[in-house]
Structures are given as structure tokens and as C-alpha cells.
Chains A and B, each alone.
Chain A
């Protein structure tokens, strides 16, 4: 085979590989959408499950929303504060390097291990029981590294001229951070938070061990009550109740839709803040 033919052959293979990689997402999303639309109905979205696959998935939807909401409320400020410290205050010494190292380490911890930790620490040691609170705390651990990483990047990219101008006008360091740097970094920070939320909403292993069995027929009455979630529900239907799998598809469709809505909202928010930054 001469060089030209070989080149074309290789190029075809590379295109094929890229093609294969590209169709993964559409295939799965379209598959979920097609299989799931059949299950969608007003009752499905607003009723509680009865024997897992009858009725609807309302408590699971609310449970997922509560879990993601609460874990973001805990994890996002914490992550942002850490990122601000790392980007604006941290001296370039061994302590900072260690802190960074551990943040990256945390990103690599398998979700089931975080679930085990959440079970042992939040559910048992802190006596929180299998509950919304335990689940949200464990989920916030999962999202922490992503929020920190994205926020720190965003903060770091803010030109130092912004800070210098602010100082020149007499502002203190904290004032500068709050009124100049963070607003300038907001698009990136929001992206980081949404990334974290996306991980949290789809997370099953952690929720399984800390938040509830997934088949709950009721919305959690308090922070200490166990809560269902869409991800657990999908797992249960797929492994134990295949006869009613249409409900599983429906739940998967709702889950993906929620994630898409979050991502789109994030994108819109990002663009809004980007426009504000560039002066309308």
C-alpha cells in the first residue's frame, strides 16, 4: 500500500472512531426520550408510587430537587470560599500545595466510598439517620472539588488590572473581592456550580447509602426524614421491577430533562453575566 492510500485508509479509521464517539450521546438521549415519553402524564408527575411501578414519581422528583438544592446550598458557598482563598489569599507555600493536593484527591474518590463515609459519619456518628440531610451533606462532598476547581479557574482569569484599579480607588481587599473580582468571575463560577449540581442529581451510590431506599411514597417531611430520588428509583425499577420499566424510562426522561434545564439555565445566566461584564 503506498503512502497516499495508507493515509486515506488511516484517515477513514480516525473519522470512524470519531463518529462512534459522537453518536454515543445522541443514541442514549434519543433512546431515553423515545422510551420515556410514553410514560409521561400528569398523574405520573404528580402522584406517589404504589408498589413501585404503579402511580407516579412525584416524591422522587421532589426528593431529587431537595437533595440537589440542599447539597448545592451547602457545597457552593463552601466551594466558592475555598476557591477565593486559594486564588486570592493563599501564599505559595507547602500548606497551600497540600490543600490543593487534597482537593484534587477528593475529586478522585469513588462515589461508593463517599457513600460509605456518609453512612458511617453522617448517618451513624452524627446520628442524622438515613435522611435528606445526610444525603445532602454527602452529595455536597461530591460536588466540592468541581465547584472549587471551576471557581478558582474563573477567579484566576480575572485580569489583575481589575483588582489594581479597585485598590487604587481605595477599596479594601475584601471589598475588591466581593464587588469586583467575584462578579467578574461569575460566569465561570456558575458553570462550576451547575457542573456540581449535575453530578449530584445523577448520583445514586451515595444517595443509596445515606438518603433513603428510593421507593418512598411520600415527600420528606423534614430534614431528618428519608427521601426518595429519581436516580434510586430508576435503579430499583431497572433491577427489580422490569415489568413496569416504562416508569423507569419516564423517570430517566424526567431526570435528563431536569439536568438539561439546569444546564440551559446556567448557560443563560452565564451569558447574562458575560454581557453585563462587557458593558451591555
Chain B
């Protein structure tokens, strides 16, 4: 066997490591959690490990509320910013803004969590209400901070990818710049923008530390009724309760089952974003 064959094979093995890891993760997660994963797990209203009750519906609803609110905020700020970067900003300003925004992803989530705990939470407590400020609202703000860079970068790419011909044609017909953006550019970029949204949702669902530090984590999770309610998310439940599970107990299996649900949801979202939305974009052309 020549050396280059040998080298090629070794490198192939290295490349398959990622696949191997994903398989292993799926395997171990399912092995530990599948036993507890049933319809009652997903729809049960009571999460009480001491009474051997593992209903995750309140936590599921809370997670969805926290994620949805964060995405709304991130989109409200991020998409206009992306439009600004792609259509209005001069070259130098675009660089500055892009670098600054992308650098946000470099801030460790604990530090954002720290900011949330020491600045946002007291602010909410003193000005809006709630028991101690730890709330859905705090979770919204903190998560939005974290996913804004994702929304901006991908949306901006999508908007810039729209051919100049579209803009020129629209302007030639007498439309103003904003009309052009609204009616010619954005609809073409919508697939990419949707992809950024879906990826943002995926990132938000998987975020653990920053959210965990500001949303309150009450002992008994309940379906929230106000933005200043304390809640839990899937990620925060797993992180916190793993500290005091008994190894091998049903409680531990329930936490793994939560991990499985998380994993599946995030994988599905990534799949949708990468294949469905982007494929549609390619087919449309």
C-alpha cells in the first residue's frame, strides 16, 4: 500500500469522528432517557421527582414562551439592522457594525448571565414587578442579546445576495429606495431570513447558562401567566437537577429524556433551516 493510500485512510477515520460522536450522543442519550420518554412525560402537568412524577408540559410551555419572546425581540432589532447593513450603511460603517455584532458571540454566556443577574434582574424587580426580578422578561432580554448576532449575520447575507438587477429594475420603475426594499429585495431574501430565524430559535432553545441564571427556576414548575413569572426551561432543569440526582434513578433518566427532546427539537430545526429553506431558495432561482 502506498503512503498516500494509507494517509488518505487515516484522514478519513479522523473525518468520521464527527459522525461517530453524533451517533454516540444519540445512542447514549436514548439509552438513558428512552425508558421515561412517553406521552405522559410530554403532557404531564406535574414535575415532582420526589413523588416520581415527571410531567414536562409546564417546562415545555415555558421554554417555548421564553424562546418565542426572545426571537421576537431579536428579529425586531436584528432584521432592521440587517437591512441597514445591506442597503444603507457605507462600507466603513458596515465593517464596524458587523465586527461589533459578531463579537457578541464571543462573550461567554456566563458573562451575559452575570450581566442579566446583576443589571437586568434588579431593574425588572425595581421597575416592573415580580418577586425578585428573575422572570420570563429577563430571559427574553438575555436570550435576545445572544441570538441577535445570528439573526443579523445570516439575514444580512440573504439580503445582500439578492441580485442588484432586482433593485435597479424597481428603481427604474420609479419606486423609492424603501419601496424597493420592501417589495423587491425583502421578498427575495425571505428564505434566508427565515433560515436565520429558525437557526436563532434552535440556538435559543439550546442555550443553558445565561437563561438559567435569570429566569428563576422555581421548585415547582408551573405554566406562567405573566411576564414576571419565574419559570424553568428544559436546559435549566437539566443543569440544575443533575446536581442532586441519584445515579441510575428514574429522576436521572427523566433528565436524559429531556435531553433527548431538546436534541430532537434542535436537530429538526437545523434540518429545516439547512435543507428545506435553503433548498427552496435554490429551487426558486
Chain A residues with CB under 8 Å of B267's CB are 105, 108-109
Contact A25 B104 (CB under 8 A): yes
A235 contacts the other chain (Cβ, under 8 Å)? Answer: yes
- Per the CB 8 Å criterion, the residue count for chain A at the interface is 81
Chain A residues with CB under 8 Å of B89's CB are 18
B266 contacts the other chain (Cβ, under 8 Å)? Answer: yes
Chain B residues with CB under 8 Å of A256's CB are 107-108, 111
B24 contacts the other chain (Cβ, under 8 Å)? Answer: yes
Nearest chain A CB to B73 CB, angstrom units: 10
Knowing A105-B267, A110-B205, the reply to whether A32 touches B15 (Cβ < 8 A) is no
Nearest chain B CB to A73 CB, angstrom units: 15
List which A59-90 residues lie within 8 A (CB) of chain B. Answer: 78, 81-82, 84-86, 89-90
The one of B22, B81, B110, B266 that contacts A234, using a Cβ cutoff of 8 Å:
B110
Contact A116 B29 (CB under 8 A): yes
- Per the CB 8 Å criterion, the residue count for chain B at the interface is 78
CA distance A255 to B267 in the complex (A): 31
CA distance A15 to B262 in the complex (A): 36
The one of A17, A81, A119, A238 that contacts B11, using a Cβ cutoff of 8 Å:
A81
Nearest chain A CB to B252 CB, angstrom units: 10
Nearest chain B CB to A104 CB, angstrom units: 7
Contact digits for A227-246, partner B, Cβ 8 Å, 1 yes 0 no? 00001001100110010010
CA distance A84 to B12 in the complex (A): 9
Which partner residue on chain A sits nearest B236 by CB separation?
A112
The one of B12, B28, B103, B115 that contacts A117, using a Cβ cutoff of 8 Å:
B28
Contact A89 B262 (CB under 8 A): no
CA distance A231 to B210 in the complex (A): 11
CA distance A3 to B177 in the complex (A): 10
> Which of B2-10, B52-60, B162-170, B187-195 lies at the interface with chain A?
B2-10
The one of A17, A103, A112 that contacts B18, using a Cβ cutoff of 8 Å:
A103
Contact digits for B124-138, partner A, Cβ 8 Å, 1 yes 0 no? 000000000000000
Contact A28 B115 (CB under 8 A): yes
Knowing A102-B18, A102-B19, A121-B24, the reply to whether A82 touches B112 (Cβ < 8 A) is no
Contact B274 A104 (CB under 8 A): yes
Which partner residue on chain A sits nearest B93 by CB separation?
A18
CA distance A105 to B79 in the complex (A): 25
Contact B111 A121 (CB under 8 A): no
The one of B17, B28, B238, B266 that contacts A82, using a Cβ cutoff of 8 Å:
B17
List which B139-153 residues lie within 8 A (CB) of chain A. Answer: 145, 148, 152
Nearest chain A CB to B214 CB, angstrom units: 10
Contact digits for B1-45, partner A, Cβ 8 Å, 1 yes 0 no? 001100110111011111101101100110010000000000000
Contact B17 A144 (CB under 8 A): yes
Contact B239 A205 (CB under 8 A): yes
Contact A248 B114 (CB under 8 A): yes
> Which of A6-14, A49-57, A156-164 lies at the interface with chain B?
A6-14
Which partner residue on chain A sits nearest B118 by CB separation?
A245
B72 contacts the other chain (Cβ, under 8 Å)? Answer: no
Chain A residues with CB under 8 Å of B32's CB are 120
Contact B270 A105 (CB under 8 A): yes
> Which of A181-189, A196-204, A268-276 lies at the interface with chain B?
A196-204
Known: A106-B22, A113-B266. 15 other contacts (CB 8 A): A6-B176, A6-B178, A11-B88, A82-B11, A85-B14, A111-B206, A111-B208, A112-B208, A113-B259, A117-B24, A198-B106, A235-B209, A238-B114, A238-B117, A255-B111
